[in-house]
Amino acid sequence: MDSKNTLTIVRRLSSVFYRPPMIFTETKLKGAFVIELERFEDERGFFALSWSEKEFSERGLESRLVECNISFNRKRGTLRGMHYQQSPHGQVKVVRCTMGAIYDVIVDLRPDSPTFKQWVGVRLTASNRLMLYIPEGLAHGFQTLEDDSEVLYQMSSPYVAGSGRGVRWNDTAFRIEWPEETKRIIIARDSEYADFH
């Protein structure tokens, strides 16, 4: 068999067995995705692509990330949120849990959206390695499910203190169903946001 035929067969087999390196599943909130990493495993463990400008841009998603932050949380039941940045400093966020486990929540604050004021919750853990892509116009927060949980944020624009805003985690406008917790740890600022209208 000549090399041209061999190359054709290899290409056909590659297309049959090709698996995308990242699996994007859109949530009920338009433009918000749960991202699963495709693992290539062997006896050593696995290898996975955790970021690809190409994979994001091919889906029309923001692929320019300019800032990364880490949130370390000592105690289970720590609740941070619900935060966002006001336009023109809105941020796209890609969030993953690198240690421990969290219940990650996003709320649609886009007035023209068909899912305005609706929310989605996703369990992100160090072991499931899921990521959540959060478009501009959504508030974000999480509650830790284990002690010593760490969260990695990648953002499309820098933090601008004067543009930081939030909505209350237990506002009845959203009716978010948080995991039960006997001792929830939350700072005063996150508990005192005004009612959302």
Question: What total of structural domains would you count in the chain?
Answer: 1
pLDDT at 106: 98
Q: Is 153 within a domain? A: yes
- Report yes or no on 124 lying in a domain: yes
Q: Where are the alpha helices (DSSP H) in the chain?
A: 3-17, 53-58, 188-191
Domain of residue 148, residue span: 65-191
Average pLDDT over residues 189-195: 96
Q: Distance of CA 85 to CAs 8, 18, 160, Å? A: 51, 39, 8
- Annotated catalytic residue: which of 103, 133, 153, 193? 153
Distance, in Å, from the CA atom of 121 to the CA atom of 2, rounded to the nearest integer, reads 54
Segment 13-34 shows an average pLDDT of 81
CA pair distance 151, 144, nearest whole angstrom? 10
Binned at pLDDT 50, 70 and 90, residue 76 comes out as: very high
| 39 is a domain residue | no
For residue 89, the domain's CATH number is 2.60.120.10
193 is catalytic: no
Assess whether 84 carries a catalytic annotation.
no
